[in-house]
Structure 1
Amino acid sequence: MATPRNPHFDDNRVVWSDEYSGHYVPIAYDVQFDEQWRLFLERAIGFRDHTGVEISDNFINDRIFELTGVRDYIVASQNIDEAEQNRDIGGKLYLDPKFPIDFFQGKRCLDIGCGAGRWTKTLKTLGAHVKSTDVSRHGLASTRRINDDVEELNLFDILEKRADLHGYADFTLCWGVLMCTHDPYLAFRNVAATVKPGGDLYIMVYAPTYHASDFVLNSRRRFHQQARTNEQKLAFAYEISNRPENAINLLDMLNTFYNWVIPKDVAVGWFEQQGFEDITVLNLHEPHNCGWHIKGHKKS
């Protein structure tokens, strides 16, 4: 079987345009992030005590604060140790406006691409009923520790094969997934179909900032040319990381075959085309943003 064309390496395309929809093919998405979730479960250095993955209570407190502005929702932090002092590894979110603290209470939520489960636990802690989906074996294993409703799901199956998920959710979250696929526009349409009229959708996609930088693009090219085994890939991530504890951030951006950056107006246009209103870029004024956080309300 021929190797799929990589838009960056083969076609010099990094910034997504909807005219590319249909030009590229799926890859084995079930293995794309699986190694980092395995390392998380094994508590490897760089894959624990990190905002991008950790699900312990103090880290979930941080996620709740970022979403709602409410501090110490679970329990007030005590006995600050080294791990506590490093809770900002991986960066923090600057969201404005915030969600009301009771926004998720009693809602049926869908976490598409749940990974190790940090947003699933955050939503459940805020009173939501959450279905968590992913294609990664180790990600699903991690999330099953904190949620009973966990399902293996390829998001590209939603429109054609999963009518039961059409209009399923009061709130759908798709965090850091769409831009790592062969067709972010089609992926968005599948995800948007899960939101019921009157419900809300929240996505995070890479912005044309850090992930379009020379450092990232050159590092990805070297990584895909040189690293073949999981051991080589991990060593490369440690090599270019500013500190070993941040390895997951580097492996996350390196390992994906597709790593599009999405212009803000393109992502906002997706919401408009799929019948959303009150579309809000939640981090419009974030300094040095790496991604766009966008929420929309589906018309009733």
Structure 2
Amino acid sequence: MPLLAGKSSSTIAPDSLPHRHFPTISGSICRRDKHLARTYFRTLNANRVRHSQCRIEQENEEMGGRWTQGFKSRIGQAIRRRLYRVRDRIMGPDPAVAAAVQSEVHTLEERLAERLTYLQNEISEARQYLRFLLGESERYHQWMSQTRASFNTQWDILPEGAHLVTDEAFVTNASQLIETYTQLPAAWFKGKSILDAGCGNGRWAYAFSRLGANVMAVDQSEHGLQNVRRLCEEFPGFRHQAVNLLEPLPFDDQFDLVWSYGVLHHTGDTKRAFDNIVPAVKSDGSMFLMLYGEPFRPGEYGEINTYVQHRRATVAMTFSEKVDYLKGIYPAELVHGYFDAISPAINDLYRYDEILDWLNLCGFSRVTRTLDNRNLHIMAHRKQV
């Protein structure tokens, strides 16, 4: 039995032990026994220290092993991923896995496309109902007034910009653009009667006049009519008149082509404006419309979102402040176009099939969408009576 059974396992200094712990002979400590005791305690202390160190090392090894195992596992996973990527670059992915993944992705894409189409249809229907409900409201009339004022300001303080008559590239390419939009050769327009319904600053009236057409330019903006009169006064076949497209026009069966580029969707009642310009088309005449289209492809949603952000940022600004705001973001030649897109309160969007239905009901045939982008560029020919 150990000499200090039941005592603490902490280290014991043998020199500090009281004499009563050692065997005695006649009350005196035997020198030999004292030496043995000191040796015993040194050995005991050494064993205890060694045991403690072993236990600590064992615990550290267990803990470190778990950490090292996790570390090695993470390293192994990273290496395997890298090797898989190298393999895929060299040999291509596992055909079976790739086919399964592709099939799943295709299924998800189809489901998302179905849901997106459904949501787009619902939004389009909601827009139609909203236009109908707001058509006679006081608030909508305020938006219409703001839109007219915005275009008056636009033609007054922003006479220059890309795609205007001050843009040499536009003037040079205008005849080619007209050919693309109408699918008619430039020679067709010589001597033809054309109604520019919503002429704005007169860029298209000017382009048609240069092709030899007899142009009637109409608009509600006095500033716009001043610009178009100044541009086209040299052409003998040019005329102009102030009209409101939401009221019946004084033209019946007079024009070979009724042209309305980017106008009807700003009127506040696109269908009524459309119905008012239809009678001006000859029985064998044609109509070209450019209307803002609803987005349906990925990049087009971002374009609309950009416009909405600008509208929200400028909602409390005056027209001049909006111009300054846009000048701080875009080059000078683009300010006119962005002002046109964000300043008017009314910017209605349409689906092609909705406009196609209008045209068919009014007796137009051979309806063609002549440009493949978000906006609707539509050429339609009227059935001969």
> Which TM-score tier does this pair reach, normalised by the shorter chain?
0.7 to 0.9
Q: 1:97 to 1:139 in 2, by over 3 A?
A: closer
Q: Tell me which structure has the larger Cα radius of gyration.
A: 2
Deviation at residue 56 of structure 1 after TM alignment: 6.5
Deviation at residue 99 of structure 1 after TM alignment: 1.6
1:219 aligns with 2:219: no
For residue 63 of structure 2, what is the aligned residue in structure 1? none
Aligned mates of 1:18, 1:259 — CA distance in 2: 13
> Could you tell me which of 138, 143, 149 is aligned with 2:223?
138
Deviation at residue 189 of structure 1 after TM alignment: 1.1
1:292 aligns with 2:376: yes
1:247 aligns with 2:335: yes
Q: Secondary structure at the match of 1:66?
A: helix
Alignment of 1:32-71 (within 5 A): 32-41=150-159, 47-48=160-161, 50-51=162-163, 53-54=164-165, 59-68=170-179
Aligned mates of 2:132, 2:366 — CA distance in 1: 26
1:108 aligns with 2:193: yes
Q: Secondary structure at the match of 1:65?
A: helix
Deviation at residue 152 of structure 1 after TM alignment: 0.7
Deviation at residue 104 of structure 1 after TM alignment: 1.2
For residue 202 of structure 1, what is the aligned residue in structure 2? 288
Deviation at residue 207 of structure 1 after TM alignment: 1.4
Q: Secondary structure at the match of 1:157?
A: coil
Confirm or deny: 8 A CA contact 1:180 1:256 kept in the other structure: yes
Aligned mates of 2:197, 2:181 — CA distance in 1: 23
Aligned mates of 2:192, 2:126 — CA distance in 1: 33
Q: Secondary structure at the match of 1:156?
A: coil
Counterpart of 1:136, as a letter, is S
Q: 1:17 to 1:273 in 2, by over 3 A?
A: farther
Alignment of 1:17-166 (within 5 A): 17-19=127-129, 20-21=131-132, 23-24=134-135, 25-26=140-141, 27-28=144-145, 30-41=148-159, 47-48=160-161, 50-51=162-163, 53-54=164-165, 59-68=170-179, 95=180, 98-145=183-230, 146-147=232-233, 148-158=238-248, 162=249, 164-166=250-252
Aligned mates of 1:256, 1:14 — CA distance in 2: 20
For residue 273 of structure 1, what is the aligned residue in structure 2? 361
Identity of aligned residues (%): 25
Aligned mates of 2:168, 2:268 — CA distance in 1: 35
Q: 1:16 to 1:180 in 2, by over 3 A?
A: farther
For residue 190 of structure 1, what is the aligned residue in structure 2? 276
Q: 1:232 to 1:40 in 2, by over 3 A?
A: closer
Deviation at residue 244 of structure 1 after TM alignment: 2.6
Q: Which has the higher contact order (CA 8 A, sep 6+)?
A: 1
Counterpart of 1:65, as a letter, is Q
Q: Secondary structure at the match of 1:199?
A: strand
Counterpart of 1:245, as a letter, is E
Q: 1:269 to 1:33 in 2, by over 3 A?
A: same
Q: Secondary structure at the match of 1:121?
A: helix
For residue 10 of structure 1, what is the aligned residue in structure 2? none
Aligned mates of 2:341, 2:198 — CA distance in 1: 16
Q: 1:219 to 1:40 in 2, by over 3 A?
A: closer
Q: Secondary structure at the match of 1:132?
A: strand
Confirm or deny: 8 A CA contact 2:246 2:269 kept in the other structure: no
**CA-atom RMSD, angstroms?**
2.3
Q: TM-score, normalising length from structure 2?
A: 0.59
Counterpart of 1:168, as a letter, is Q
Structure (1 or 2) with the greater helix fraction: 2
Aligned mates of 2:370, 2:271 — CA distance in 1: 20
Structure 2 stretches of 5 or more lacking a match? 1-122
Deviation at residue 174 of structure 1 after TM alignment: 0.5
Q: Secondary structure at the match of 2:187?
A: coil
Structure 1 stretches of 5 or more lacking a match? 1-12, 42-46, 69-94
